[in-house]
Structure 1
């Protein structure tokens, strides 16, 4: 019987979740509803894609080496950790009192064209009025709040993957 918590099946789950998350963002929110992503949303998407890329490599090649598995896990964790931190910052900005919300600035394209990359990161994380706007909700949750919940779930899955990697080899018959 196929176990749902094998190393490979957990990696496939991460890939599926990345595809679902990106499809939801691109096809439903952006194309269907016409919502353009703010800079923080774009950074969250980058983190989700990084996680999905490392998980895809791990799922396709299913490395047996603990060191390679840990390396892929760290790359995947870095991506989803980044996305989670950005989503947390985004939620925080959305809950600021109206008089404390940063003013809207130029778009991300302008920043990338005119500023050094470290300054771009600083500007994005400072947030802007567009990042604090709540354009759509589902069950009372804004898009960043939904993202934060999803990313937190994916962090839990990463802890299960780490357990799978570090578990003694004699117990990893199906992994």
Structure 2
């Protein structure tokens, strides 16, 4: 492959990664805007009968994004206590969880920290293995990379935004 062709391929790869990062950031902004929309007590409601409360979903999304730090080899979780509360157990398992104000602060800090790390990552970094896959397995399945995880986390946030939409009924009541 010629140097010019290689440079075009690298530029295209970087452009695609940039688009995916923009999508991840946009999804996080949608979550942030949603959790700034209502009074704190409204987020204590279930998004639908028998489903999780909105506050739980914010904790869950925060815990999930916080887990990207160790998964990508960028450091430890900022809020490890959230994993047990929001990733390993269903809603209403614990009598006390952080307040909406605390969760909003955690959400902002986690995403600002990730954005800072992500801005320093190269295309090669994004296409490298994450920490939950062995080098041997990665050699067989190179799609098990950090970029693929970012895409799945973006979709995951979109899925939960779809649930949270049902809380909007309060606006029309």
- Range into which the TM-score falls when normalised by the shorter chain: 0.3 to 0.5
Q: TM-score, normalised by structure 2?
A: 0.34
Q: Structure 1 or 2: larger helix share?
A: 1
